[in-house]
Structure 1
Amino acid sequence: MADEINVEFSGEFSVDPDAPIFVISVAAQLAGMHPQTLRQYDRLGLVTPGRSAGRGRRYSPRDVASLREVQRLSQEEGVNLAGIKRILDLEYENRALRGQVDALMKELQVLQAKLRGAGRVFAAEPGGDIVAVAPGRRPQRPVTSTALVVWRPGR
C-alpha cells in the first residue's frame, strides 16, 4: 500500500497506526479530500473508519493512508471505485495472510530449535532394539566370532 501516515510526537510517545484518532475533518485534510468524499467512501466500504461513542467517524493513520491510496489509484491510475475496492480488499487479505505466514514461520523455527536441542537420533540395532545415537553416528554393533564384517574404504 502507499506510504503510511507518520504521526510523530516529541518524547517516547508513539501512535498505533490502527488507533481511531482523527475526526472526519482532520482525516479529510490529511488525505487532501472533502469530508463528503470520505462519507461516500465509507458508504461504499472503501475505507471504513472506527466510530466514537456518539457514532462519529474516527479515522486511524492507516485509514488516512488508505484514503491517499484510493485517491492515487483513482486520479493517477484511472481505476474506478469498484476496482479500487477490489484492490484494497486484496491488499487487506494479503496483509492478513502475511501475518499468518510470519506466525507459522516463527512456530516452525521454535519447533526446529527444539529438535536441534534434543540432539538425539534413533536407530534400530540388528536385534531390533531401538537405541539413541548421536547425530551422524551409527549404533555400535557387537562383533562376534560368527559375524562377518565387510568394510570398504570410501563408501
Structure 2
Amino acid sequence: MSTAITFDDYLALTQLYADYAIAVDSGQWDLWPEFFVDDCVYRLQPRENFERGFPLATLSFESKGMLKDRVYGIQETLFHDPYYQRHVVGSPVLRKADGERFECEANYAVFRTKLSDASTVFNVGRYIDVVVRTPAGLKFKSRQCIYDSEMIPNSIIYPI
C-alpha cells in the first residue's frame, strides 16, 4: 500500500491527469512530450500481452526524444482521416508513494469522432504510471496504457 500523501500532492497528481487528457484531446501535439521526463517510457500495450509478461506493444517509446519524433510524425508524415478524440479518465489510485515518486493507476476511455460520423468508443483500459517530482512539477517517468481489447480500429495515430 502507499505511504502518506498530502492533499496538495494528490491534487497535483489529479491535475496532471486532467491536464494530460486536455492536452492530447486539444490537437496541440507539442504539449504531449512535456508531460514526461527526458528518460521516460511510454507504452501502449494490449492487456493480454501485459498480463502474460509479453513485451510486444502497439507503441513503445523510451525517451522524450522518441515522443517528440512521434509528434513530428503526427504533424508532418502520417496521412489519415482526421478525427477528434476525447478522454474520460478516472481519479488516480495511488499504489505507492515515497514523497518524490508516485506509482498510480487510473481507468480511461477514449472516444473518437470522425468529422462525418457519430462518436464511437475507440480505446478503453487503464494507465499504470510512475510519476516523479521535478523542479517543473509532477511529470511522468513511465506511462503504460494497457488497453482491454485485442482489436483496435485501423491504427492508433494520436497518444492515448
Report the TM-score when normalising by structure 2: 0.19
Greater RCO between the two (CA within 8 Å, min separation 6)?
2
Which protein is richer in strand relative to its size? 2
> Which structure would you say has the larger Rg?
1
Report the TM-score when normalising by structure 1: 0.20
